[in-house]
Amino acid sequence: FLKEFYYDDEFFFLQISFYLFKILIKYHDPVLSEILENNKMTPEIYASSWFLTLFASKCNMRILNLIYMIFLLEKNPFFYFYFSLALLILH
């Protein structure tokens, strides 16, 4: 999935993913969005490893297996963005 999705020299689809994520934050939690923007915290800073590794670099295997199971069962291509958004808002 990621090899095909993010495989180009400019990481075009990764940049689109960051933009989409920024818009989702702005829509679902405008206060958090403003705090992040005022502190120049862009998704490129805090979400790169989330999107490139599907959380593999940040979670233990037990949690990671649950995340992947849900991700595969959900069958919604945007689920990953909403899952990331929920984690960000809850923490």
User: Could you tell me the mean pLDDT of each successive run of 10 residues in the chain, 91 residues long?
Assistant: 63 90 98 98 94 86 92 88 94 84
Backbone angles phi, psi at 89, to 5 degrees: -65, -40
The domains of the chain, with CATH numbers, are 2-90 (1.10.472.80)
Residue 8, CA distances (Å) to 2, 4, 13, 46, 53 in order: 11, 9, 8, 21, 16
**pLDDT value of position 59:** 86
**pLDDT value of position 4:** 60
DSSP state of 20: H
Residues whose CB is less than 8 angstroms from the CB of residue 44 and which lie 6 or more positions away in sequence, other chains included: 18
